[in-house]
């Protein structure tokens, strides 16, 4: 028994020694190769990102002064979470190992024909670093990438890159769908900086209402007539319920602008009469509104009462005042679509 334990101890010690020798050798080899230094430790210096794929899609992301949101392709705001994921990758990325020599040539051809490119700028016209992104490793723990630093040139070898402590691959963080990159905020008033909220229930106009907000406890509510005029007063109102309702407008987001609808299908939906419409007038007298349409399910599904329905129980179609269509979760929008009877009698 003692001999077995001694033998086990010796084997364990030898294994540890071999591991550290190999690991030190690998680290030393990579340390001598500057084109393995993918990371930029201070991502606050990153001012612009440019992504391109092999079919011509491009994404330009630019940091905006005094804002947490980046500009997307000079026309939209970009999703904060998606930008932060790329910055986190840039900060923490490291090389896990080399691509086997036997697969190097095929990997280089694949990256040239179907890979993606990420250019990272830190205030200059020339990118500080450029990543060429290939496929993920079979164990889903790394992504094949190649680094170029303009003043040093492009690495002749691709490497397996990962984030230490992160289980998964990096490729999904670097995507080129403009609609997937778009910021999803619809109504976002963190300080409740608006004057009024009007909710029109087109299918039951007697339940439409308009709430006014003047700061602190200055609130009001009026019912709306079928013609849209809101001047019906009430003697009993739920002040606490109204305050809680107005707080919902601190942050209202759609799920995605990428609806996967063909233009003809989107136009067909927009030609219909919406079921609901929400309009917010901010403190600068700017009006922002969305129209809400039911979304058909792919197949009949049971509703909350177990009755089969043709309507999607989880999503609405949301159309902005600019005619842009998005998908909105009922979890988000249902609380905004309360009837007038919820607040006043």
Say what the pLDDT of residue 50 is.
98
- At 50, which helix (H) or strand (E)? strand 48-52
The pair of three-digit structure tokens given for residue 78, joined into one six-digit string: 């970009």
- Which residue positions in the chain have pLDDT lower than 50? 2, 5-6, 8-29, 31
pLDDT of residue 24: 41
Has this prediction a pTM greater than 0.85? no
Q: Are 164 and 156 contacting, i.e. CB atoms less than 8 angstroms apart?
A: no
Distance CA 292, CA 70 (A): 28
pLDDT at 30: 54
Helices (H) and strands (E) in the chain, counts: 7, 20
Site of tokens 């691959």: 169
pLDDT for the residue 264: 96
Q: Report whether 311 contacts 296 (CB < 8 A).
A: yes
Residue 159 has a pLDDT of: 92
Q: Is the dihedral of CA 71, 73, 76, 80 positive or negative?
A: negative
pLDDT of residue 26: 45
What is the number of other CB atoms lying within 10 angstroms of the CB of residue 93?
22
Q: Rounded to whole angstroms, what are the CA distances from 279 to 144, 156, 231, 251?
A: 48, 57, 16, 15
Beta carbons of 293 and 280 less than 8 angstroms apart: no
Q: How far apart are CA 108 and CA 160, in angstroms?
A: 13
Predicted local distance difference test score (pLDDT) of residue 121: 98
User: Given this model, what pLDDT does residue 283 score?
Assistant: 96
Per-domain boundaries in the chain:
35-179, 185-342
């Amino acid at each position: 028994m003692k001999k077995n334990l001694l033998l086990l101890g010796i084997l364990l010690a030898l294994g540890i020694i071999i591991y550290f020798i190999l690991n030190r050798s690998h680290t030393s080899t990579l340390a001598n190769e500057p084109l393995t230094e993918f990371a930029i430790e201070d991502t606050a210096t990153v001012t612009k990102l440019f992504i391109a794929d092999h079919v011509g899609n491009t994404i330009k992301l630019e940091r905006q002064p005094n804002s947490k949101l980046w500009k997307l392709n000079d026309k939209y705001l970009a999703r904060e979470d998606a930008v932060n994921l790329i910055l986190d990758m840039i900060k923490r990325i490291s090389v896990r190992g080399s691509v086997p020599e036997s697969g190097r040539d095929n990997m280089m051809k694949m990256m040239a024909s179907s890979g993606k490119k990420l250019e990272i700028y830190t205030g200059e016209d020339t990118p500080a670093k450029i990543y060429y992104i290939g496929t993920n490793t079979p164990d889903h723990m790394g992504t094949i990438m190649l680094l170029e630093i303009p003043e040093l040139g492009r690495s002749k070898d691709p490497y397996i890159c990962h984030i230490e402590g992160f289980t998964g691959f990096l490729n999904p963080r670097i995507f080129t769908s403009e609609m997937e990159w778009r910021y999803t905020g619809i109504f976002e008033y963190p300080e409740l900086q608006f004057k009024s909220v009007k909710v029109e229930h087109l299918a039951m106009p007697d339940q439409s209402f308009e709430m006014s907000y003047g700061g602190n406890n200055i609130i009001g509510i009026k019912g709306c007539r079928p013609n849209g005029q809101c001047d019906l007063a009430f003697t009993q109102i739920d002040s606490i319920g109204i305050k809680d309702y107005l707080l919902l407008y601190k942050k209202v987001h759609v799920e995605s602008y990428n609806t996967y609808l063909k233009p003809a299908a989107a136009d067909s939906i927009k030609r219909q009469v919406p079921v609901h419409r929400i309009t917010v007038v901010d403190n600068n007298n700017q009006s922002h509104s969305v129209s809400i349409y039911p979304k058909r399910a792919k197949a009949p599904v049971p509703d909350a009462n177990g009755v089969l329905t043709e309507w999607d129980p989880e999503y609405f179609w949301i159309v902005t005042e600019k005619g842009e269509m998005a998908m909105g979760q009922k979890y988000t929008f249902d609380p905004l679509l309360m009837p007038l009877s919820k607040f006043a009698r």
